[in-house]
Amino acid sequence: MTQETQEISGFHAHIYFDTASRDVAARVREGLGARFDVRLGRWHDQPIGPHPKSMYQVAFLPNQFEKVVPWLMLNREGLDVLVHPETGDDVKDHTEHALWLGEKLELNIDILRRARTT
């Protein structure tokens, strides 16, 4: 079965950092906010949801993908980044449909599976 891209309502980029790379993450965040029409999420200094380390989320519309993702490819400054679509299926969006820049981190997908059944 083929899925149509119209099913994508938006994208999230999760920018991962630790205490040593928080300043780098702040620079990347500032660059994203200054250059693109994106929604910058809160800083999470501890793992949250399926995410195994500190991160913030950047939300953007499908028409921004071709600008935001290439910029992240060139300007992520060594940070690991998860980019995924919003299709309404959080499990697939974070796994099968995901794109990684840098190291692919092990997400706690069970949290998403449990949320789907409640």
pTM of the model: 0.92
Q: From residue 85, how far is each of 22, 78, 109, 114 by CA, in Å?
A: 25, 22, 16, 20
Banded model confidence at residue 113, pLDDT cuts 50, 70, 90: confident
The rounded distance, in Å, linking the Cα atoms of 28 and 17 is 11
Summarised one tens digit per residue, pLDDT across range 13-71 is 999 999 999 999 999 999 999 999 999 999 999 999 999 999 999 999 999 999 999 99
For residue 100, pLDDT beyond 90: yes
- CB of 21 closer than 8 Å to CB of 2: no
pLDDT band, very low/low/confident/very high, at 1 (cuts 50, 70, 90): low
Alpha-carbon distances, residue 37 vs 29, 62, 85, 113 (angstroms): 12, 11, 17, 31
